[in-house]
Structure 1
């Protein structure tokens, strides 16, 4: 009898705890899948930090991790829309490599003949050429898929082979370097960061925008009679968002320029060199700002514009979407054109970061991009996915790669781990969808 009483009491306690957690999640409207992914990311970070003897969670490694994540994050934001419509793009890595080689040749070999070296127009002409080529190739693939009814898997698999071959053909496999000074700002580094002051300014502005957004959302719900979150949930979400934003800024500002670069900067600007040295913070890097901007724009397109509603409608039920009058073929062309544009942006970041263009750029990026989107909650069955989730998924993938690199794990084993994680992510998505029915 005593055992039964104790068992009943413990079950009641567990049910009460589960009920409290459920009520908390409903009140705050936090996505459980997103929360689980953030929990997994935290476990990965802590695990690698312990295993590497305290090397992972340092300002230097976290800053480098943010820069290394940007290319996959940009690609993953577009891959979400591709997968949501029940398509796939296996050519993004090869397309990135081709566009990178074209931008390298344009600014290092072609434009100097007409504008000279270090012209203020070189970087913008180069970038526009890359964006045009990427968008054109993406549109070309989209037209074949939409109007010739060739499966996206086959079309982009052909692009995976063809664009990589053309990337080699542009310079017969030769690496192009060095690149324009202004163009290299898009790759990060000491000159490609905004420093401590502007980082704090952007952090504070971001916090204010989050608070204004939450207040605006609450007013809109009240206006249309929709249920609102409790005030304590609004305060909690605002506080957590500000803590994460300002904490990230603090970490980035805690990483300083190397002594050699700082001395050169001091000599150039006639700054006396103090005995204790000169601490100059990197702050937020330009490629991270580009990735955040891309994520915001694609999220706006996916959630606020009619085009975004069409994309999710096609993914939910293509036949019903076509019967409803949606021009599904043109929507397909547009999402692949957007994917080509984003591949060009990622190519610019990659080329600027390396200060060189090589035909091997973007190798295996298609694997990491698809994995990031799936890990971020994008369903391969179509109709479901978020850009924010995909970008966090990109951070998870890059964290695994960075952590294994610090732990001196061989590259073949790294690929095994990435493949295993991808399979597990798809399995979890299947389980989640089956329980949601």
Structure 2
């Protein structure tokens, strides 16, 4: 068998292929990237170049994280033909628990004041446990009591937000622990050096992924891309990763903040000294979540069961998959990610507010659907959901920068959601993937 290991880097079967056919790129992914590029260029022109400044890109990535984290979980929920309308409310009640643990429970019952090394870990743990427990409870009602997911989570939409309201008595809770606040990304970053280290490691991992995929294809005698196509894809990955790190490092820490940092160390800020923010810790958390969720989706039995159930629930159950227990697991994962998003959102705001997470359920669902998750079930990607969240946040931030009123922003986002679903339906009809 002759494949792309031919000395010329391409076989006769590749000779007449187009560039896109040779690269074997996902056209839906290209469409999302193209839409994001057009949005960025459009708002950059409208704002006189301010949209694509390092400062705004830094803020945009930090603001995207909490919705993107939940969107990765929503992929699993929608793939199995369910829906979760309670994620914003679940985020709110987790945030309330986290805030009360920091400011009331640990100081009042255990004598741990803000600044104690135990505050942040215990607060984080409380949010994750509460989110996972509530998510599993939703899954029990849906999977074992056969209550439609729409009804269970619609009830949760009301119950959990106001449970959080009563827990905090409707008050904004602040200040929070300084170490905990670092998780929001606005204050906590890796700095320039460690950001470059993470960028280099991520680039090496991307190149290894391309090489490993090619090796597996050759091992199993599957067709492979020409070598130049592999190099091109690997180069694009590296360029995107290192370019992103370079942009974040280009956003300098304000001199006033640098001066305070040097004064706390008993030093004087040198003239002309600058320091970039680098990669926010919250973005690093999102990257870890994306990697873990992608591995779960593609490499584990749980992931295979999720997509098999979404493709044909009856056949999945007849084949021995415990679809009811699977539903509990999926909603428990969703709850865990809501707790994690609550940590990031609260740390970014540096306070628990009564309106935290408002309308996030719509943003999360929209991000997953814009990212290519089929509402009919059985299809969806983690990277697509994250790109969808970034597109949503780019639209919202860009409209805010050009002075568009909030009601009109919601109108545009709603229209974009409907348009994205229509495009997805047309695409699936043309490709036969229905």
TM-score, scaled to structure 1: 0.94
The answer to whether the aligner puts 1:176 opposite 2:187 as a matched pair is: no
Equivalent residues of 1:75, 1:339 under 8 A apart: yes
**SS of 1:273's equivalent?**
coil
1:8 maps to none
Equivalent residues of 1:221, 1:227 under 8 A apart: yes
Instruction: Tell me how large the CA RMSD over aligned residues is.
Output: 1.3
1:233 maps to 229
Q: Distance in 1 between matches of 2:267 and 2:60?
A: 31
The answer to whether the aligner puts 1:397 opposite 2:405 as a matched pair is: no
Q: How does 1:321-400 map to 2 (within 5 A)?
A: 321-400=316-395
- Please point out which of 127, 131, 150 is paired with 1:153: 150
Change in Cα spacing, 1:149 to 1:338, as seen in structure 2 (3 Å) is same
Equivalent residues of 2:259, 2:268 under 8 A apart: no
- Please point out which of 286, 291, 295 is paired with 1:296: 291
Equivalent residues of 2:85, 2:361 under 8 A apart: yes
Change in Cα spacing, 1:25 to 1:140, as seen in structure 2 (3 Å) is same
1:433 maps to 428
**Higher mean Cα deviation, 21-30 or 141-150?**
21-30
- Please point out which of 157, 168, 184 is paired with 1:187: 184
Equivalent residues of 1:56, 1:62 under 8 A apart: yes
1:203 maps to 199
The answer to whether the aligner puts 1:245 opposite 2:241 as a matched pair is: yes
The answer to whether the aligner puts 1:141 opposite 2:156 as a matched pair is: no
**SS of 2:178's equivalent?**
coil
**SS of 1:41's equivalent?**
helix
**SS of 2:18's equivalent?**
helix
Q: Distance in 2 between matches of 1:334 and 1:301?
A: 12
1:418 maps to 413
1:7-56 deviation per Cα after TM superposition (whole angstroms, max 9, x unaligned)? xxxxxxxxxxxx99973223212100000110000000000000011110
Equivalent residues of 1:98, 1:359 under 8 A apart: no
TM-aligned CA deviation for residue 274 of structure 1: 2.8
2:216 maps to 220
The answer to whether the aligner puts 1:268 opposite 2:258 as a matched pair is: no
Q: Distance in 2 between matches of 1:262 and 1:112?
A: 31
1:254 maps to 250
1:62 maps to 57
1:93-133 deviation per Cα after TM superposition (whole angstroms, max 9, x unaligned)? 00000100110000011111322331101111111111110
Q: Distance in 2 between matches of 1:342 and 1:74?
A: 6
Q: Distance in 2 between matches of 1:327 and 1:382?
A: 18
2:127 maps to 130
Q: Distance in 1 between matches of 2:27 and 2:16?
A: 11
TM-aligned CA deviation for residue 273 of structure 1: 2.4
**SS of 1:111's equivalent?**
helix
Equivalent residues of 1:79, 1:373 under 8 A apart: yes
1:117-163 deviation per Cα after TM superposition (whole angstroms, max 9, x unaligned)? 31101111111111110000000000100111111111100000111
**SS of 1:182's equivalent?**
helix
1:276-303 deviation per Cα after TM superposition (whole angstroms, max 9, x unaligned)? 3x31110000000001100110111011
TM-score, scaled to structure 2: 0.94
Equivalent residues of 1:82, 1:335 under 8 A apart: yes
1:293-346 deviation per Cα after TM superposition (whole angstroms, max 9, x unaligned)? 001101110110011000000110111111111111111110000000000000
Q: Distance in 1 between matches of 2:391 and 2:113?
A: 42
Q: Distance in 2 between matches of 1:70 and 1:22?
A: 39
Q: Distance in 2 between matches of 1:386 and 1:225?
A: 26
Aligned length: 417
Structure 2 unaligned segments of length 5 or more: list them.
1-13
